[in-house]
Structure 1
Amino acid sequence: MPPWLLHHHLSRLQTNSDRIHITAMASAAKRSKKLRILLIPFFATSHIRPFTDFAFHLTAASPGDVEATVAVTPANAPVVQAALSSHIPRGGHGGDARVKVTTYAFPNVDGLPPGVENMSTVKAEDAWRIVAAASNEAVMRPAQESLIRTSSPDAVVTDLHFIWNAGIAAELGVPCVAFNIGGIFPTLALWRLTAIEIKDPAAGGSVTVPQFPGPDISLPVTELPDFLRNQAQVFEFDHGAENRFMVELKACLGFAANTFIDLEPEYCENFIDSGFVKRAYFVGPLSLPPVAAATVAITGGEKSSSACFDWLDTMPAHSVVYLCFGSLTKLSEAQLNELAVGLESSGVPFLWVVKVPTWEPPAGWKERVGSRGMLVTGWAPQRDILQHPAVGAFVTHCGWNSVLETFAAGVPVLTWPMAFEQFIVERFVTQVVSIGERLWPEGAGRRSTRREEHELVPGEAIARAVAKFMEHGGAADAARRRVAELSAKARAAMADGGTSHRDLHQLLDDIMAARASGGGTMAP
């Protein structure tokens, strides 16, 4: 074990007497009653699902002793239920039965019709309304504070979007954990980039992430999230900055992240040493089932009867390109048309998930493609699809949830980022761990986190990239060998005694110790 990793696991407890005292308190707390944890995710499926997975793992880690409740607004409750349904009780766990769902009121937002409470269901032009409401403490805090006070949990797990919940928990004397659905690489990069002054964002140019381990990571300004391009919104994350976010973050018991140490060791070490948080817990990939459940095949009526799996079963191993761009990405019809042309011209078998139900492929496209391709409209069971032996590559938008799922499945990627921190994650995938390539080569055209600036990716470029990547003995084969090693490490991290398994149990021990001490915090 590297010395820094040993330090990570031992530094939480300063002396042997501290360890004995805390363990005794935790044991007493465990005997007294169930540990009740309230989890509050942001209004996006890409946040709600990993929060629900986290809740499931917390309950499965200590069956009968932990009860987790995911708090969402009413229209988002089905998202939690759908996520829980994927955790079929296995090996006697029944962890999903101990995960509850509760709701609190979504604020009235001008321009949003009733029932539109999720970034995945809102019209693209209205997405900013949900973001603006969610980031407004005056709008959001009253309902969340009422929920927390009424629920009276033993601990609160809050999304970083709602960091003020740390202050509410502190007032109640209960510990709060900040949970980051993203990886440490993109999080650390974003926080470091706040120190960069972009004098004229419209002028273009590139920036390099400062104080970053590993290779230099540079991005065009157009590929930065809006909060970095809009300097008025930027605040620095240095040690002297007394901004509200950092104050609340440091008030938390700790910071949990959906990643595992062996995936990004240098960046985890740098994050631990940064002083941003009191403690860090690396608890992923949460999309994987608990170790006892992992020994049982993931099956179910939905998978066995799904037409896409029937189709995949007819395809040779590693021959199919799977395409899905997440729950938030909204491709234009023009881009969908170019993508259809590119897949047709590539000659490669493909399974393509389209989230635009009104879009129709070009005339005659389905007939020309025939049985070589399959189009799925709406939702598809991505985790299971990626595990299918026929899948040979994943064209992904580089959302962290999708990236973790491809690591867990051992599938190489072609990257097509479009928004938020996805361009940063792309650098991690292609430059740091090297499990794939850019679908649109550097210099081929302008890409941007803003839809209106992102140039149309032409069909011929898509066809060329897909065909070349999938060539026998080509880039996909080499990337598959590298990602297979990381897949084994991901499963080892979640297995009994693995790094993520230990951090998950350490987090529960720390929460119980904080509860037993009668306060919401512990000495770092």
Structure 2
Amino acid sequence: MATTNGVPSRRRPHVLVIPLPSRGHLLPLLDFAHRLSTRHGVPLTVAVTSSNLPLISAFLASTPLAAALPIEFPDASSPEHSSHRPPPGSHHALLAIHLPGFREPLLSWARSHPDPPTVVISDFFLGWAQHLADDLRVPRIVFYASGAFAVAALEHLWKGVLPLDPNSSPVVVLDSLPGSPAFPYDHVPSVVKKYVAGDPDWEFVREGFRLNATAWGAAVNTFDEMESEFLECLKRFFGHSRVWAVGPVADSGCRRAERSPEAEQLFSWLDACPPRSVVYVCFGTMYKPPPAQTAALGAALEASGARFIWAVGAGVAVLPEGLEERTAERGRVVRGWAPQVDILRHPAAGAFLTHCGWNSTLEGVAAGVVLLAWPMMADQFIDARLVVDLHGAAVQAAEGAAAVPDPGTLARVFADAVDGTKWADVRAKASALAAAAAEASEEGGSSWVALDGMVKELETAYASPLPIDHR
């Protein structure tokens, strides 16, 4: 290392960002990277597959110090690389299994670059990035696109997963977490259940989480006022204090592409709606509801009398016959990608029927709408527990991927959610949590201070003689 008067010189900061090439993981990591770069003048290089390059165009345009590093999946026609190419529609955890083939190209790029990276920041499903950081002798920060409660639950479960038996333990107690929360086995995160079922691919996923626990630091897309107890848990589990709550990170400015005519029409319609009068319905980008669920949901929206936006994504080919025509005055159906952050932040949005994926949960919390929780899989039952039971800012509407709720009951939930005279306590708690989220991200707020603290500790780390002590 170069020295000045015998004192080690500070290496120029340069962050290599490695996202999981899945929209729900890629976008929040880019939001975080944008905030890091624009606030602190940190240059970034984002490793991105060519298929995801269009997704980062708005990010690159709004982040002057960021550059893309296109990287390809190994050629599927090559026998030695065919196992690295993910099948179409892979679950994001299984997608991660195919990405360690990126390690060598990234290592070669870093070693030949005139300004090599001094920090690696990667998605939490990419535990193998720890080996890359070790090879480069730089600190790695794991970015958790899940909440602290869910991450702490996974850490507890991975440590005790071998004796976990759904037959003898129908209820799983997380006794190392505050309050010893208990969940039915069916509500345990999917990544753990897949491992317990004996699928060998999921051993790789577990090993990735083990590597995450050895990383230099962790940035979590949450805020202290929402999950302080669980953030303290993570510090205890990881054995250090370098755990930073940096959220909510959602930044529509670094995601926004030019609005389509359809989107313009949607927001013009929203502009004409009364405040807090619209129910927004979306189950994320990966979920494809079965026909019976679609029929029940459509019938409930129609019977509720409430204004609504139903973002069906690419998963619902056929809606209940005639629904759009019968509800044309008070409802809109969005096919494909919906500008969710902007919809939720619109003054007309009043409630959000959500699967409780963490991105959606936190975006709903930040917008101050009443969350109608319908958890289905993954960490969604944990997220629902957090907002429904621990914060009282949400109402349980249904649960389970196979659930087909009674349309009349669900219709009353929709109607009550946008009736300003009902659910006053839930509405007040949702507003208070939104205010806390906004305050956390403002100058001097907890997440603002955490990001500043992270940068200062990084500056100390990459100015020190290497190798880095990851513990």
Q: Which moved more, 1:303-312 or 1:484-493?
A: 303-312
Which structure 2 segments of 5+ residues have no match? 1-6, 201-205
Equivalent residue pairs, number: 451
> Where does residue 336 of structure 1 map in the other structure?
294
Residue 509 of structure 1 pairs with residue 456 of structure 2: yes
Q: Is the 8 A contact 2:166 2:185 kept in 1?
A: yes
Equivalent residue, structure 2, for 1:253: 216
Q: What's 2:196 paired with?
A: 231
Displacement over 6 Å in runs of 4+: 116-119, 298-301
Structure 1 residue 147: deviation in Å?
Answer: 4.5
Show the 5 A alignment for 1:93-492: 96-107=63-74, 122-123=88-89, 127-128=90-91, 131-135=93-97, 139-151=101-113, 152-194=116-158, 195=160, 200-201=165-166, 205-214=170-179, 216-229=180-193, 230-231=195-196, 244-245=207-208, 248-277=211-240, 279-288=242-251, 302=259, 306-356=264-314, 359-440=317-398, 447-448=399-400, 454-475=402-423, 477-492=424-439
Quote how far apart the aligned CAs of 1:439 are. 0.7
Do 1:169 and 1:175's aligned partners in 2 also have CA atoms closer than 8 Å?
A: yes
Quote the Cα distance in structure 1 between the aligned partners of 2:421 and 2:305. 17
Instruction: Assess if the C-alpha contact under 8 Å between 2:191 and 2:378 holds in 1.
Output: no
Post-superposition offset of 1:522: 5.0
CA contact (8 A) 1:41 1:47 kept: yes
Q: 2:49 aligns with which of 73, 78, 82?
A: 73
Question: What secondary structure does 2:122 align onto?
Answer: strand
| Alpha-carbon distance in 1 for matches of 2:86, 2:397 | 29
Structure 2 match to 1:6: none
Tell me the distance in 2 between the aligned counterparts of 1:489 and 1:455. 33
Are the counterparts in 2 of residues 70 and 80 from structure 1 also a CA contact under 8 Å? Answer: no
Question: What is the alpha-carbon distance in structure 2 between the residues aligned to residue 167 and residue 300 of structure 1?
Answer: 35
Task: Give 1:306 shift.
Answer: 1.1
- Give the deviation of 1:432 after TM superposition: 0.8
Contact 2:107–2:136, Cα closer than 8 Å, also in 1: no
Mark the CA change 1:346 to 1:72 in structure 2 (over 3 Å): closer, same or farther: same
1:169 touches 1:520 (CA, 8 Å); kept in 2?
A: no
Q: Deviations over 1:26-72 (max 9, x none)?
A: 9x63xx64x21011111211110011111101111223xx1112212
Partners of 1:405 and 1:416 lie apart in 2 by: 16
In the alignment, the residues of structure 1 paired with residue 287 and residue 176 of structure 2 have an alpha-carbon distance, to the nearest angstrom, of: 31
Matched letter for residue 425 of structure 2: A
C-alpha separation in 2, matches of 1:332 and 1:167: 41
C-alpha spacing 1:351/1:196, structure 2 compared with 1 (3 Å): same
Cα distance 1:300–1:132, how it changes in 2: closer, same or farther (>3 A)?
closer
Match of 1:38 in 2: 16
> d(CA) in 1 for partners of 2:460 and 2:239?
22
Instruction: Kindly state the Cα deviation for residue 520 of structure 1 after the two structures are TM-superposed.
Output: 5.0
Query: What do residues 228-259 of structure 1 show as CA deviations (whole Å, max 9, x unaligned)?
Result: 22426699xxxxxxx85466335422111111
Question: Within 5 Å, which residues of 2 pair with 1:76-95?
Answer: 76-83=52-59, 87=62
Match of 2:35 in 1: 57
Residues 133, 481 of structure 1: alpha-carbon distance in 2 compared, 3 angstrom cutoff: closer
Partner Cα distance (1:45, 1:516) in 2? 34
Q: Relative to 1, partners in 2 of residues 1:247 and 1:299: Cα closer, same or farther, differing over 3 Å?
A: closer
Aligned-partner SS, 2:138? coil
Give the residue type in structure 1 aligned to 2:26.
I
Deviation of residue 345 (structure 1)?
A: 1.0
Checking the alignment, whether the CA contact within 8 Å between 1:253 and 1:278 is kept in structure 2 is: no
Task: Confirm or deny: 8 A CA contact 1:258 1:284 kept in the other structure.
Answer: yes
Letter in 2 for 1:342: A
Unaligned runs of 5+ residues in structure 1 are: 1-24, 88-95, 236-242, 441-446
Relative distance call for 1:301 and 1:44 in structure 2 (3 A) is closer
Cα deviation, 1:197-230, whole Å, max 9, x if unaligned, reads: 666536883222222114x533221222333224
* Offset at residue 353 of structure 1 (A): 0.8
Computed over aligned residues only, the root mean square deviation of the Cα atoms, in angstroms, reads: 3.3
Change (3 A) 1:455 1:348: same
Instruction: Report the alpha carbon displacement of residue 333 of structure 1 after superposing the two structures with TM.
Output: 3.3
Read off the aligned partner of 2:227 and give its amino acid letter.
E
C-alpha distance 202-176 of structure 1, shift in aligned 2 (>3 A): same
Q: Are 1:495 and 2:471 matched, yes or no?
A: no
Q: Structure 2 CA distance, aligned partners of 1:488 and 1:425? A: 19
Q: 2:25 corresponds to which residue? A: 47
Correspondence for 1:239: none
Query: Whole-Å Cα distance in 2 between the matches of residues 328 and 176 of structure 1?
Result: 29
TM-score normalised by structure 1 residue count: 0.77
The share of aligned pairs that are identical, in percent, is 31
| CA displacement at 1:521 relative to structure 2 | 2.3
TM-score (norm 2): 0.85
Q: Structure 2 CA distance, aligned partners of 1:347 and 1:203? A: 46
